[in-house]
Structure 1
Amino acid sequence: MSVPRPRRRPFRRARACVALCAGLAAALSGCGDPDEGTNGVGKLSAREIEEKARTAVDGATAVRVTGELVTRGQTYTLDMRLGKDGGSGSVTARGTAFSLLRVGDSLFLKGSEAFWNQADQGRGPSRSPGASGGSGGGIADKLGGKYVRVPAGDPAYGQLRGFTDQKALLDGLLTLGGEPVKGGRPTLHGVPTIEVKGGDDAKGGTLDVSLRGTPYPVRLVRAGGAGTLTLGDWGKDFPLTAPAKDQTVDYGSKIPRT
């Protein structure tokens, strides 16, 4: 007489159930620690996160700044690469774009014909580039598509240089109003971040700080609707050389108001 073998299916089900429960417990454990796998700044207070971001910015060798900046009622659209020794990129204002390039203290401006036509409105007879007097054709014909060296004594030098100065620009921008508080954790351009808001209502602006690697700022929403800027390519080198002589025009002691 044959003896029936015991059925093992219940034991298999039991093992499967144990494995499923273990996997579920691990998943729940991971969900319970949102800072797992991050740089850890999310565990800090809002003030400490802001300070960490500031330290990271101060140590950065380069950054790319894009977006809109509103100041004194004027909106500027920026796409600038900034480094310790200068910067380059484009700025759009009043519907026209121009390029800026600074190498050390040498600042160059390049605009389209439309830009120079706009800049020359109301100036009277045009002055030939590099000449001490006299009149000629429109300055747009002479300057369009060329780099113009901006004299250090020109009133426009300080303002234009500010767009190319990494420290000056970021020091002026990355300041929140009100007591900082922690916000949400949005993912921006594939980077997990944590928000630091200026006040509970964020009226003082919002700074999104990276939770991956060095805690660099990723996005800044300025207070009062004064623009939103994206910051990226931290520490990434970019070419920075003065334009060739055949691409440069010396306008003289003062360029048209830009």
Structure 2
Amino acid sequence: MGRFKKCFRCAVDFVINRFGVDPNCDCRTMPGPLCIRCECGGLEQDCPPLPAFQAAEPPYSELASLYAGYAGSYTVQKAEGIFMFCSNTEKAALRLLASARTDPLAYDAAVYLLADCVRFNFDVPKPLREWGFFALTGQIKRPKQGGKYPPALIWRDQAIVSMINDVVQYFGLKATSAAVDGGESACKAVAEGLRLMRLQPDSYPTIKRIWQSRKKQKIVPIFIRPEQSL
């Protein structure tokens, strides 16, 4: 039994609310982009799902900025059961450059990390300084990308699964439905919420497939895989 009344329409509004926007705003009933209030609302939450959807879209510039931050992250245990997330620019540079010859997003993330250091007047790690010279002068080329970049979908799909789980838990809806259109299932509610948010994917079959494949192991790029806590 869910925490709230079993209501499909309420579940759709709940999904929209997860993006930090008002589900009753009139902009969702009109063609074109969302209003500025709704566009900005999704970025004001502590952990909004919107960046995960933006990172999944080519040319993956949002994903490159995320990779630049994650590449050097590690955890430090401060006390029993208490951990602190830290970031090390030197570590990030080494991990990204090790993959930059073959992975186009590692290349882009390394460029982003270099630009970030210059912008905020941080010390540029020596390996990144050397590499940056050759990259900016065209002596090192960005690896070619054949088609889509599958790892880009990992965070987006995790966000979708999380929303489906919440709808099931809070509203008592079944995750999927035998109906071709999804009936009033949690997957259908999430699909409808994404459609109203002008985000992809927004079809029931695709959302259902993501839900049903949630336990399959995802291949995470080696340069952002979690490292052992220090």
TM-score by length of 1: 0.24
Query: Larger helix proportion, structure 1 or 2?
Result: 2
Alignment TM-score, normalising by the size of structure 2: 0.26
Higher strand share: 1
User: Which has the higher Rg, Structure 1 or Structure 2?
Assistant: 1
Larger relative contact order, structure 1 or 2 (CA cutoff 8 Å, min sep 6): 2
